Amino acid sequence: MAKVNTSLNDERTIELVQRKGLLAGRYKWQILRLALARSLKMTTPPGEHYDFGTSDGKEYSLEQVCGEGKPDDENFTDLYRLLISNYHQQDLFADEEMFIRLLQRHIRRGLDEFRTSWRESHDFHEYLYQSLFSNLNTAKQQDRNAAPLPLLEMLEEIGVRGHIKETIDGSRLTRFMLHLPDANDLSKLKRNLDTLAFSLGLQEQGIFTHETNQPKVIGLDVPRPASSWHSQGFHEQSRWIEQGKSTTFLLPVYPGVDVLGKPYSFDLAKAPHLLVAGTTGSGKSVLLHALIASLVQSCTPAQLQIYLIDPKRVEFTAYKQLAHLAPEGLVTDAPAALKLLKELAGEMERREQVLADAGVRDLEEGLTKQVIQLPFIVVFVEELSALLMESQDTETYLVRLAQKARATGIHLVLATQRPDADTFSGLLRSNVPSRIALTVRTAAESRIILDETGAEKLTGRGDMLIRLVGGNVLRLHGVNINADDIAQLVKMTRK
């Protein structure tokens, strides 16, 4: 008889939800059904990659999943068949095999969603309530976002006439491709985006415009309620890394997906230093984990050494056993951080001599010509402002490293909640040219980071604007890496 198969990761999620979410004593089939409900709330169909469980996963019968063969009041098979038929606009009463396959895809996608968007430290019931029901009382707003007609009415209110050529669902936003017969309406539209957002009940989350190459067509990116977001997690990130192995990037990082859900990557070695800024809860720590996870999965410990500076002492402790962590590479107080930065400045000078002796310009050339064998070094700083408050010298060494360390293969990733002049002085600013802004408090903070406004209107939780050295600003939605993923990552590197 046909079964629903899971993977080991799915099983871990089920156990975690049992133990920490529902606080023990619940049955696995209950969690499978909750996962099904979660997936059916999402607007795009689950992918085919959920078709294959793994040999270390489990098999569940239709009796367990749907109550097949039980008395009528406990048997939901036909109800689930109806719901899934409706979702996929396909008659699954006539195709049993397809029903089981889609049932499995939804259940496994729902489990993935739990894994990537719920944190053990958060109340699972509240999370579930929010993700299953929160848009019931904002249903009107969601309909408005989904249906072009009311959007057009709102546009007319601000004096803009147009029609929607196409609607594309991204992972958190819907992009409306708006055709404007009168090109003069474009400036009116851009001036009135806040009014439009207000009319659509979007509160502080903004509507962004997106230039297109079609004549008189502009993209309008409108945020959807969080319950309809599609999250990306460690699992997806690992797949992108595997698929991207042929790139020439020296230090590939995969922070997330673009507005339309396409994975985005860049070479940290070319950045060559990165500032990450955002208010508390905007997703800075999760983003740093995503960057670390990318590097660790792409490079061996012989190719890359990582230093982690965390004056808050909380974020990086899980990496203690990471194979890529440099000896004494985890630093949790400001004096030790200063000592480390001094040592790294010394290492930079030593490397400069090694490069000069080998007759090469930089580490990349030395590695290509196989005349040097040194690992890249990436230094992550979790809260830059806490560090800078301790000593004036900290900034001096950071600036020195930012100015000169690139050629020697030493790169900095600096995170801060406070992107103001005290934290991000002119000298640091000009030497840390690549920036990521998560949600910030004010337009002025957005300007300090990106030289333009916008980050004050993001949707939070890993929504970000990125500007790499010399490039344009691009919007990304971050990969969600949780504590379990980090534990798995660390274990993988120790093998």
Take residue 224 and report the two structure tokens written for it. Answer: 């959807």
Provide φ and ψ at 478, rounded to 5°. Answer: -75, 155
Q: Is 172 in the site for ligand ATP (CB under 6 A)?
A: no
Using the minimum distance from each CB to ligand ATP, give the nearer residue, 39 or 117.
Answer: 117
Q: Is 446 in the site for ligand ATP (CB under 6 A)?
A: no
Map the footprint of ligand ATP across residues 80-119, applying CB under 6 A. 117, 119
Q: Is 280 in the site for ligand ATP (CB under 6 A)?
A: yes
Residue 26 carries which side chain, given as an amino acid letter? R
Using the minimum distance from each CB to ligand ATP, give the nearer residue, 256 or 329.
Answer: 256
Q: Count of CB atoms within 10 A of residue 200's CB?
A: 18
On whether 265 is known to bind a ligand per the annotation, the reply is no
Q: Is 67 in the site for ligand ATP (CB under 6 A)?
A: no
Using the minimum distance from each CB to ligand ATP, give the nearer residue, 284 or 467.
Answer: 284
On whether 283 is known to bind a ligand per the annotation, the reply is yes
Q: Is 462 in the site for ligand ATP (CB under 6 A)?
A: yes
Give, in order, the Cα–Cα distances in Å from 113 to each of 61, 136, 231, 339, 346.
Answer: 22, 20, 7, 42, 45
Residue range at the interface with ligand ATP (CB under 6 A); choices 212-220, 278-286, 339-347, 369-377:
278-286
Using the minimum distance from each CB to ligand ATP, give the nearer residue, 322 or 438.
Answer: 438
Provide φ and ψ at 381, rounded to 5°. Answer: -115, 120
DSSP state of 21: I
Using the minimum distance from each CB to ligand ATP, give the nearer residue, 272 or 462.
Answer: 462
Who contacts 258 (Cβ-Cβ below 8 Å, separation ≥6)? 170, 264, 474, 475, 476, 477
In the set 6, 39, 228, 231, which binds ligand ATP (CB under 6 A)? Answer: 231
Q: Count of CB atoms within 10 A of residue 450's CB?
A: 20
- The number of angstroms, rounded, from the C-alpha of 195 to the middle of its chain's C-alpha atoms is 29
In the set 21, 206, 283, 366, which binds ligand ATP (CB under 6 A)? Answer: 283
Residue range at the interface with ligand ATP (CB under 6 A); choices 15-23, 65-73, 186-194, 474-482:
474-482
> How many Å apart are CA 417 and CA 409, to the nearest integer?
27
Q: Are strands 252-258 and 376-381 parallel, antiparallel or unpaired?
A: unpaired
Q: Is 284 in the site for ligand ATP (CB under 6 A)?
A: yes
Smallest gap, in angstroms, from Cβ of residue 74 to ligand ATP? 35
In the set 192, 265, 282, 423, which binds ligand ATP (CB under 6 A)? Answer: 282
- Using N-to-C axis directions, what is the helix angle for 234-243 and 284-298, rounded to 10°? 40
Smallest gap, in angstroms, from Cβ of residue 203 to ligand ATP? 18
Using the minimum distance from each CB to ligand ATP, give the nearer residue, 344 or 450.
Answer: 450
Who contacts 488 (Cβ-Cβ below 8 Å, separation ≥6)? 234
Give, in order, the Cα–Cα distances in Å from 136 to each of 148, 151, 172, 222, 461.
Answer: 20, 20, 18, 19, 22
On whether 262 is known to bind a ligand per the annotation, the reply is no
Q: Is 273 in the site for ligand ATP (CB under 6 A)?
A: no
Q: Is 423 in the site for ligand ATP (CB under 6 A)?
A: no
Report CA torsion sign: 320, 326, 328, 330. Answer: negative
Q: Is 408 in the site for ligand ATP (CB under 6 A)?
A: no
On whether 446 is known to bind a ligand per the annotation, the reply is no
Residue range at the interface with ligand ATP (CB under 6 A); choices 30-38, 86-94, 282-290, 423-431:
282-290
On whether 279 is known to bind a ligand per the annotation, the reply is yes
On whether 282 is known to bind a ligand per the annotation, the reply is yes
In the set 33, 435, 461, 467, which binds ligand ATP (CB under 6 A)? Answer: 461
Q: Is 324 in the site for ligand ATP (CB under 6 A)?
A: no
Smallest gap, in angstroms, from Cβ of residue 42 to ligand ATP? 14
In the set 46, 480, 489, 490, which binds ligand ATP (CB under 6 A)? Answer: 480
Provide φ and ψ at 141, rounded to 5°. Answer: -65, -40
Q: Is 286 in the site for ligand ATP (CB under 6 A)?
A: yes
Using the minimum distance from each CB to ligand ATP, give the nearer residue, 457 or 461.
Answer: 461
Q: Count of CB atoms within 10 A of residue 201's CB?
A: 12
Nearest to 129 by CA among 26, 230, 226: 226
Report the SS3 class of residue 168: strand
DSSP state of 467: E
- Whether residue 5 contacts residue 52, with contact meaning beta carbons closer than 8 Å, is answered with yes
> How many Å apart are CA 454 and CA 208, to the nearest integer?
8
Using the minimum distance from each CB to ligand ATP, give the nearer residue, 100 or 489.
Answer: 489
- Binding residues, by number, are 278-285
The binding site for ligand ATP (CB under 6 A) comprises: 117, 119, 231, 278, 280-286, 417, 461-462, 478-480
